[in-house]
């Protein structure tokens, strides 16, 4: 059985995306921090399955298979292109990024099936509406949140619409030279 983890960045004022889906703030820091770059490359070289919403999938598909991504971050690009990707979408029919498939049924039911059949971990990147829905169903095991030292003023909360937030236990923290801080939480039943 697979474990479901969330890996997302949030601004210091608590938003995972800015107005109109802007994510430029999340990538403004880091490039000159070798420890951060090694951490990101290590995460991408893992294995398992990526669980993505359509918007996140399309954004990532537009970058990671490109020659530019291979030049900018070769290890991350290789991992992203190699990993299995499951896209939750009612509108996408034919994913054209390597190792991708679409699920269209009831989200919680589809994720329960995926979790039961997975050999490795399942990681949700971005995809805030999926995070909120699965958190409400108690299907997320771990949350890895990168707090970026940036204030964006407006945006969307990662747990937007969740009426009963999950109980979380802090497992670890890690500060990086670029000012980003990793907070790792385990969901308690």
* CATH code of residue 138: 3.40.430.10
77 and 69 Cβ atoms separated by less than 8 Å = yes
Q: Enter the pTM of the model.
A: 0.89
**pLDDT tier, 30 (very low <50, low <70, confident <90, very high otherwise):** low
Is residue 184 within a helix (H) or strand (E), and if so which, with residue range? Answer: strand 181-188
| Residue 46, pLDDT score | 67
Tokens of 111: 């994720």
**pLDDT tier, 43 (very low <50, low <70, confident <90, very high otherwise):** confident
Tell me: the pLDDT tens digits for 136-162? 899 999 999 999 999 999 999 888 888
37 and 173 Cβ atoms separated by less than 8 Å = no
Neighbours of 157 (CB within 10 A): 14
Tell me: the pLDDT tens digits for 55-81? 899 999 999 999 999 998 888 898 899
What does the DSSP 8-state code read for residue 33?
-
Range of the domain at 17: 4-188
Work out the average pLDDT over 103-112.
Answer: 92
Neighbours of 79 (CB within 10 A): 20
Is residue 56 within a helix (H) or strand (E), and if so which, with residue range? Answer: helix 54-61
What is the count of structural domains for the chain?
1
| Residue 171, pLDDT score | 97
User: Which of 81, 8, 9 shows the shortest CA–CA distance to 45?
Assistant: 81
């Amino acid at each position: 059985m697979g474990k479901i983890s969330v890996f997302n960045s949030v601004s210091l004022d608590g938003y995972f995306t800015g107005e109109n889906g802007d994510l430029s703030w999340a990538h403004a820091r880091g490039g000159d921090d070798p420890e951060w770059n090694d951490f990101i490359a290590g995460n991408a070289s893992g294995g398992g399955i990526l669980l993505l919403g359509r918007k996140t999938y399309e954004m990532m598909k537009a970058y990671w298979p490109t020659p530019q991504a291979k030049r900018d971050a070769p290890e991350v690009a290789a991992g992203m292109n190699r990993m299995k990707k499951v896209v939750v979408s009612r509108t996408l029919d034919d994913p054209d990024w390597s190792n991708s498939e679409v699920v269209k049924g009831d989200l919680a039911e589809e994720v329960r099936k995926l979790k039961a059949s997975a050999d490795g971990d399942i990681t949700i990147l971005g995809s805030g509406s999926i995070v909120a829905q699965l958190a409400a169903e108690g299907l997320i095991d771990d949350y890895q949140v990168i707090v970026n030292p940036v204030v964006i003023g407006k945006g969307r909360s990662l747990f937007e619409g969740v009426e009963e937030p999950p109980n979380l236990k802090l497992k670890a923290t890690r500060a990086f030279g670029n000012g980003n801080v990793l907070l790792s939480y385990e969901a308690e039943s």
